[in-house]
Amino acid sequence: MQVIENKIIKEKLYLEELENGLKVIVIPKKDTNKKMAIIGTKFGSVDNHFIKPQTKEEIVIPDGVAHFLEHKMFEQANGTNSLDTLTAMGVEANAYTTNDHTAYYFEAVDNFEPAFKELLDYVFNPYYTDENVEKEKGIIAQEIRMYDDDAISKVFLNALECMYEKCPVRLDVAGTVESVNKINKDILYDCYNTFYNPSNMILSVCGDFEPNYIIEFVKNNMRKIEKIGKIERIYPKETEKIYSNFKETSMDVSIPSFVIGIKDNLEKENIVKKELILNILLNYLLDENSKLYKELYDEGLLISEPDLEYEYSDIYSHMIIFSYSKDPKKVFEKIKTEISNLKENGLEEKSFNRVKNKIYGRLITSYNSPAQIGRIFMRDYMNDIISFDYINEWNNITIEEANKLLKDKFIEEKMILSIVNPK
């Protein structure tokens, strides 16, 4: 078992790869009542074209299969639903699908062992029939229509459609009503047997445990599954240019919402430092204490602090600014002007250190919650990152590097604006 210690925050990580390829991460958290287990598979909405390792057959699947699989995983052959079973134990359980992974988790104070056993049971024992797949289509179609009427979902999806021409990140995670109707149990089993192999999965557990106890528990409560080879995923080639710089639509809303997207290229060298610096820059530009935010707020152009995020995977990379405004186009122009001024004059050191310290505080605080720790370590490890790397990299960040990344990444030609206006 590999042991990795971070002396700055006094936390340890225990990592073991089982014979079947499952990577198990245990982060002991002494003297805490809460316990968290999350298991993720590197299978998301972008993975719709691949070669099966078992047969070398090239497969193209309808959009929305990863999300459909997530819905079906709780249903069991004996007629029970694992989500109901877990809820009856008094634990909080759920699942989610993103562009690049799917995850199943629970948080518990009591009944950890039976809940953990249930998690390992339903995730590794799928049950799909023609009847239960057909029934689910109607449920998911209803969910898709609901999100079609949701302004926040629409403004984000339109932003991705502006930034990307071919990359499947531009597609809705749930697919479309048409694509969902093409899904059948054979497609689900094909994808399950490919992507839900333990060698493509990561289990992260946090709580007051001995690591060996967790490893042995997993070994004793998983059915035997043979390890498969590497999954070859096939993605369309995406240009570094944006597809379109603007998209506007109208919906039943009271105030316009907007997303400003900044498309990035895909280099992943030193991605930890890059992610930290880009988050510092986004907050320097527009957090609630920034000069620009105060100006926009005082003018009534922003009604609340924007959501600021950098997202990346093997096939996409971009920054997002989301908020509400009576005049998003004017906000966009003012943001571009401020970026231009910062590039010319450089970041102010006092403000840079303020933002840097704020984000470091957030990072440290996240280690207080077993639920956050479990998710963070699972998600980061999917990107070949040990979450402690963010702590270790922090003191190496300089204002000179931030100024350089500002010039390299905040490029006007790679910026888009998506707006949802009131009808």
Same domain, 258 and 223: no
Q: What's the confidence (pLDDT) of residue 83?
A: 95
Instruction: Indicate whether 38 belongs to any domain.
Output: yes
Last residue of a domain, one of 233, 265, 292: 233
In single-letter form, the type of residue at position 296 comes to L
Decide if pLDDT at 163 tops 90. yes
Report the candidate in 117, 158, 160, 148 with the shortest Cα–Cα distance to residue 317: 160
CB of 70 closer than 8 Å to CB of 122: no
Per residue in 37-58, pLDDT (tens digit) is 999 999 999 999 999 998 999 9
What average pLDDT does range 351-380 have in this prediction? 94
Provide mean pLDDT across the span 338-342: 97
pLDDT of residue 267: 80
User: What pLDDT is attached to residue 325?
Assistant: 97
Binning pLDDT at 50, 70 and 90, where does residue 269 land? confident
Q: Which residues contact 192 (CB under 8 A, 6 or more apart)?
A: 69, 126, 128
pLDDT at 212: 96
Query: What is the arithmetic mean of pLDDT over 330-338?
Result: 98
Strands 246-251 and 415-422: parallel
Residues 30 and 99 in one domain: yes
Residue from 70, 75, 136, 238 carrying the catalytic annotation = 70
* Residue 255 and residue 124 share a domain: no
What percent of the chain lies above the pLDDT cut of 90?
A: 94
> Of the candidates 200, 233, 266, which is a domain's last residue?
233
Is residue 229 pLDDT above 90, yes or no?
no
Q: Are residues 252 and 190 in the same domain?
A: no
The pLDDT of residue 408: 96
Structural tokens at position 116: 């953990």
pLDDT of the residue at 421:
97
Distance CA 309, CA 288 (A): 15
CATH no. for residue 83?
3.30.830.10
Same domain, 364 and 330: yes
46 falls within a domain: yes
- The percent of residues in the chain predicted with pLDDT above 70, rounded, is 100
Mean pLDDT of 245-251: 97
Query: Per the domain annotation, does 240 fall within a domain?
Result: no
Taking Cα atoms as reference points, which of 127, 129, 128, 101 lies closest to residue 38? 101
- What does pLDDT average to over the chain? 95
How many folded domains does the chain comprise? 2
Do 123 and 171 fall into the same domain? yes
pLDDT for residue 320 is more than 90: yes
Could you tell me the residue range of the domain that residue 95 belongs to?
2-233
Q: What is the pLDDT of residue 314?
A: 92
Which whole number is the average pLDDT over 382-399? 94
Of 185, 201, 233, which residue is a domain's last? Answer: 233
Show the tokens assigned to 69.
């699989």
227 and 192 within one domain: yes
Q: What is the pLDDT of residue 266?
A: 86
Task: State yes or no: pLDDT of 268 exceeds 80.
Answer: no
- Decide if 241 is inside a domain: no
Say if 239 falls within a structural domain: no
Tell me whether residue 202 is exposed, middle or buried, using C-beta atoms within 10 angstroms of its C-beta: 0 to 12, 13 to 18, 19 or more: buried
Residues 259 and 124 in one domain: no
pTM > 0.85: yes
**What beta strand segments (E) does 61-180 contain?**
92-97, 102-108
Q: 213 and 335: one domain?
A: no
- Span 350-354, mean pLDDT? 96
Look up 70 and say whether it is catalytic: yes
Model confidence band, residue 110 (pLDDT cutoffs 50, 70, 90): very high
pLDDT-based confidence at 31, cuts 50/70/90? confident
Is 225 a member of any domain?
yes
Per-residue pLDDT at 69 exceeds 80: yes
d(CA 3, CA 25): 10
First to last CA, the chain: 59
- Above 90 in pLDDT, residue 36? yes
Note whether 227 and 254 are same-domain residues: no
Confidence class of residue 167 from pLDDT cuts 50, 70 and 90?
A: very high
| Structure confidence at residue 54 (pLDDT) | 87
Q: Is residue 158 part of a domain?
A: yes
pLDDT, tens digit (0-9, with 9 covering 90-100), for 147-161: 889 999 999 999 999
pLDDT at 317: 96
Same domain, 284 and 168: no
Q: Is residue 72 a part of any domain in this protein? A: yes
Residue 282 reports pLDDT greater than 80: yes
What is the average pLDDT across 164-170?
97
Q: What is the mean pLDDT of residues 113-128?
A: 96
Q: Are residues 156 and 288 in the same domain?
A: no
